[in-house]
Structure 1
Amino acid sequence: MRTIRCQVLLLSAAVVLLCSAAVFVSAGNPIRNFDWTVTYGQIQPLGVKQRGILINGEFPGPTIQAVTNDNLIINVHNHLDEPFLISWSGIQNRKNSYVDGVYGTTCPIPPGQNYTYKLQAKDQIGTYYYFPSLGFHKAAGGFGAINVLSRPMIPVPFSPPADDINVLVGDWYRTDHKALRAKLDRGHKIGLPHAVLINGHGPRSPPTFTFQSGKTYRLRITNVGVQSSLNFRIQGHDLKLVEVEGTHTVQTVYSSLDVHVGQSMSVLVTADQPAKDYRIVVSTRFVKKVLTSTATLHYENSDGPASGPIPNSPKKISWSIKQALSIRTNSTASAARPNPQGSYHYGQVNITRTIILESAAAQVDRKQRYGINGVSFVHPDTPLKLADHFNIPGVFQVGSIPYAPPAQPRKLHLNASVMETDYRTFVEIVFQNREKIVQTYHINGHSFWVAGMDLETWKPESRKGYNLNDAVSRYTVQVYPRSWTAIFVALDNVGMWNVRSEYWQRQYLGEQFYLRVFTTSNSLRDEYKMPEDSLLCGRAKNMKP
């Protein structure tokens, strides 16, 4: 237990107390308790006052520090004037989609009430984050970092850093989130964001990170924005990539890294330059009007301010694709989770089914909508998981979204779309993007291997270019303009799981669906029972868990 305390001591003194308390948990895995109050508060990241969503008075919200297999008990008090939900992006909630924190599985917390989420970082390590999933709240804040450290008996493939620093980056609107939501509800687009934030700071109030000469620091970078891909770089310093969304990577050195919406990664940065200040630069990618924000990397014995031009970001899509394909799993590093189905290697598992998912944008009843495989998702009056559990008819229909796009993919219809797949199958999913923007997709409850990506249209022959050896396993993946990305997924987590665009305007207007990973078994080994304290709503309101 002494080793755990030393690891977490690098992060914050408050967390040491949590680790110390965990020593006294004799049965099962350690429990970490959190008590959060969600309120509106005045913030001004762009120099103008606006309403933000705060957690315990903080923007961004407090960081969750944990160790593999820790139980996280998070009591959330909703003091907003409308229902509220938090989703735990990347925390896979093994066997329990009831607390997933999206409306298809979890009832929101009513105003003035609280709910206690019970999660477990089961067999996971790495960098994750949480965010509000309902009502376009994400554009107002309510997000924060989740760091899951390795257990002390599991070696980490790099020396302990001098400090472990979260860097939350993302685009930002100075327009109130309710005004943005109202515009979407009327069927209009919300336009481009106004700035990029770094840890809640805009261009007018750049944050400072202090380094000591000669020491190495771990930066955990997460794009918590609502639509923009970002490029991250530090003047005069290299970025050594060591982890991506729970996977230790081959330790490749980059001058800059693209971080797409919803993605997380860890880099090591060594303070090996002359002692002065340097600029940390974050800018938008794949857009005509580039937004840039900076922070300061300050050497403790600095001789002067940052000087010289800031480093430019790359411009070509081909550069970004090449970088993405260069990110590979560190096969010599220990991992927290075993291979699927007891297989020796993901590249040797037989594919059960190929699913092709293609996005589209179209007008439906003269309103802007987005969808996947011809279906634009609309929320029913009852969360899908509850309707499934209580056998409530008429809420959704299995198979309401096809496994491949229709012949006319740009024609959309509205539905509470649910795709059924069988438990313990191994599927290939191809994301096809015929549009001019970068897409980013997330699958709740599962990580997946990024087997390949390329320009143009995917064909069966495209499999010849797959990486079947050391593809990175992650939970969010980008699809470049007029391109495709193929992933392999072991469907080893029973439940109703959200598959969505991380481009939040598109997600809000229908670019999502639910994957029902199904088994006839009622064994607790496959899926936990509904928690007795589950919030119930819609047609399930008067049911008993």
Structure 2
Amino acid sequence: MNKPIVSFVLLLLFSCNLVHGEDPYINYEWKVTYGTLSPLGVPQQVILINGEFPGPKINCTSNNNIVVNVVNQLDEPFLITWKGIQQRKNSWQDGTLGTNCPIPPGKNFTYRFQVKDQIGSYYYHPTTALHRAVGGYGPLTIHSRALIPVPFNPPADDFTVLVSDWYAKTHKTLKGLLDTGRSLGRPDGIVINGKSGKGDGKDAPMFTLVKGKTYRFRFCNVGMKDTINVRFQGHTMKLVEMEGSHTVQNMYEMLDLHLGQCLSVLINADQNPKDYYLVATSRFTKESHFATATLRYVNGVGGAAPLEKKEAPKGWEWSLNQFNSFRWNLTASSARPNPQGSYHYGQINITRTIRLVSTDGVVNGKQRYAINGVSHTDPETPIKLAQYYGVADKVFKYGLCKDEYMPPNGNEVITIAPNVVNVTYRNFVEIIFENHEKSVQSWQLDGFNFFADRTGEMRQNYNLLDAVSRSTIQVYPNSWAAIMTTFDNAGVWNLRSNALEKQYLGHQLYLSVNAPNTSLKDEYNMPDNELLCGIINGLPRPKPYAI
């Protein structure tokens, strides 16, 4: 064989290897421990990851493979979920009690998932007990690949801002309140990245800016109860992204951030060089809390001006109007999960409507929250594992939650049971959330992005063109909200309230999306390292799926 032919063969082999090679892997080793910090100025027990609160940032690029070995050094079982990460064909990694056995104290579990066709701002958090109330959460940022253009110039820096209401109590104390039928009550304050400045000029700067440059701030409300309004003193915000979708770039002086929601804004450092405050304020509460973080211009002179009394208008109508101003940027190139509905979701026929009505009541002297009359409780054997091992009939019943539900007048009968809804693979479904409460609700759907339509309007007025594709939706008091999505991701997926108290007391369900044929084309096999518990513990592994 002569040299040109050899060179050609080597080049061909090299090219094939590039085409079929795996996407890059990013590995993390996390140790989950207790620690003592003072988020509100008073020492209390918090949950740390590698000694940090908030936890380490997962910083990755679209299609990267993420490997996180979580070592549980708490005295209780522990799980983490990856809020907004779709886990294509891989609900084994969702990290909820309906899909995974919790990690026992002193043990570890290695999560493996790919951020397939996703970009944007997300976070991770615990799903066991009331652990989220005292930390264990952190940011997860997915950048666009170099070949995919972003609809704005690269910022000078990229900051994460995790805002949360906060209780000055341990998670065990808070769990004890709910387990004995009492309420968590009002939060004690607000924290920004685990700290709570009071606008008195005494706090060290959290963010540093250079005059004339533009900065990206990624906000997430990782709290338990309250909507939080965010604003920058002296600066306006340009909204550019929400939960993985580039948005029409409108300008805002302040933004309402509901529970579980994430978004990105750009700000221009175009003010006189000195200090300014980022302000986070709780919304829709009788007693409002606020916290500040300091922005410091390089070579700036002077502290931040005293905080002016500047809040969003009372009531929720202003917030609804702001929500209706959010639009998907259809001209932006981007990774797009759920490609069937990426551009023309308004032209897809709805095959099923599920109407979810939130109710609450007292069962055996204790408060419970229900969806269509069913208050979810986690079985000892996770729902996903029960299905895989063929023992679902011994763990839960399908169909307790009906598609249509009329709440009784004052005579609510609540069933406490695992709440599992069967949905048809790849069907395009409308879900309507009805809120008969006096407070704003927020809901999270794992495994999918959906099209979050306008709330409180007639169906014929739906936005069928450019509703933002995302994974959370808020529902205003005595109102309703509609979402539409294609259930094209096989597995068992959690739909839950982002309000921690309500979620813990039953405001969640699981959607079982079963492909017609068990095949690796539709869903991955159970991982080799999967933890087992409940009635399947010690049973032989079922035969794996074939290609």
Answer yes or no: is 1:433 the counterpart of 2:432: no
Rg larger for: 2
* Aligned counterpart, 1:179: 173
* Aligned counterpart, 1:490: 486
Partner Cα separation in structure 2 for residue 485 and residue 397 of structure 1? 27
* Aligned counterpart, 1:6: none
Unaligned runs of 5+ in 2: 1-17, 542-547
Answer yes or no: is 1:57 the counterpart of 2:51: yes
* Aligned counterpart, 1:451: 453
Counterparts of residues 182-197 of structure 1 (less than 5 Å): 182-197=176-191
**C-alpha deviation, 1:207, in angstroms:** 5.0
**Tell me, what secondary structure is at the counterpart of 1:520?**
coil
Partner Cα separation in structure 1 for residue 343 and residue 116 of structure 2? 21
* Aligned counterpart, 2:281: 283
Which letter does structure 2 place at the counterpart of 1:452?
Answer: R
Kept in 2: contact 1:379–1:416 (CA 8 A) = yes
Unaligned runs of 5+ in 1: 1-23
**C-alpha deviation, 1:339, in angstroms:** 5.1
* Aligned counterpart, 1:503: 499
* Aligned counterpart, 2:15: none
Counterparts of residues 58-97 of structure 1 (less than 5 Å): 58-97=52-91
* Aligned counterpart, 1:377: 376
State TM-score, norm by structure 2: 0.92
Partner Cα separation in structure 1 for residue 145 and residue 40 of structure 2? 40
Counterparts of residues 329-348 of structure 1 (less than 5 Å): 329-337=328-336, 340-341=339-340, 345-348=344-347
Partner Cα separation in structure 1 for residue 205 and residue 140 of structure 2? 20
Which letter does structure 2 place at the counterpart of 1:473?
Answer: S
* Aligned counterpart, 2:266: 268
**Tell me, what secondary structure is at the counterpart of 2:156?**
coil
**Among 411, 414, 417, the residue aligned to 1:412:** 414
* Aligned counterpart, 1:522: 518
* Aligned counterpart, 1:312: 310
* Aligned counterpart, 1:220: 218
Partner Cα separation in structure 1 for residue 364 and residue 374 of structure 2? 14
Q: 1:78 to 1:323 in 2, by over 3 A?
A: same
Which letter does structure 2 place at the counterpart of 1:364?
Answer: V
**Tell me, what secondary structure is at the counterpart of 2:387?**
helix
* Aligned counterpart, 1:403: 403
Partner Cα separation in structure 2 for residue 273 and residue 248 of structure 1? 27
Partner Cα separation in structure 1 for residue 432 and residue 218 of structure 2? 28
Which segment is superposed worse, 363-372 or 311-320?
A: 311-320
Which letter does structure 1 place at the counterpart of 2:425?
Answer: Y
Partner Cα separation in structure 1 for residue 215 and residue 359 of structure 2? 42
**C-alpha deviation, 1:208, in angstroms:** 2.4
Partner Cα separation in structure 2 for residue 483 and residue 73 of structure 1? 41
Partner Cα separation in structure 2 for residue 214 and residue 411 of structure 1? 61
**C-alpha deviation, 1:278, in angstroms:** 1.2
Which letter does structure 2 place at the counterpart of 1:356?
Answer: R
**Tell me, what secondary structure is at the counterpart of 2:360?**
strand
State TM-score, norm by structure 1: 0.92
Query: Sequence identity of aligned pairs in percent?
Result: 51
Q: 1:338 to 1:58 in 2, by over 3 A?
A: closer
Which letter does structure 2 place at the counterpart of 1:89?
Answer: K
* Aligned counterpart, 1:11: none
**C-alpha deviation, 1:360, in angstroms:** 1.1
Kept in 2: contact 1:196–1:203 (CA 8 A) = no
Answer yes or no: is 1:157 the counterpart of 2:151: yes
* Aligned counterpart, 1:5: none
Which letter does structure 2 place at the counterpart of 1:374?
Answer: G
Partner Cα separation in structure 2 for residue 25 and residue 539 of structure 1? 44
* Aligned counterpart, 1:390: 389
Partner Cα separation in structure 2 for residue 25 and residue 115 of structure 1? 31
**C-alpha deviation, 1:412, in angstroms:** 1.6
**C-alpha deviation, 1:518, in angstroms:** 1.6
Kept in 2: contact 1:211–1:297 (CA 8 A) = yes
**C-alpha deviation, 1:366, in angstroms:** 1.0
Partner Cα separation in structure 2 for residue 335 and residue 411 of structure 1? 46
Kept in 2: contact 1:206–1:294 (CA 8 A) = no
Partner Cα separation in structure 1 for residue 505 and residue 271 of structure 2? 47
Kept in 1: contact 2:205–2:296 (CA 8 A) = no
Counterparts of residues 196-275 of structure 1 (less than 5 Å): 196-203=190-197, 205=203, 207-275=205-273
Partner Cα separation in structure 2 for residue 237 and residue 117 of structure 1? 40
**C-alpha deviation, 1:338, in angstroms:** 5.4
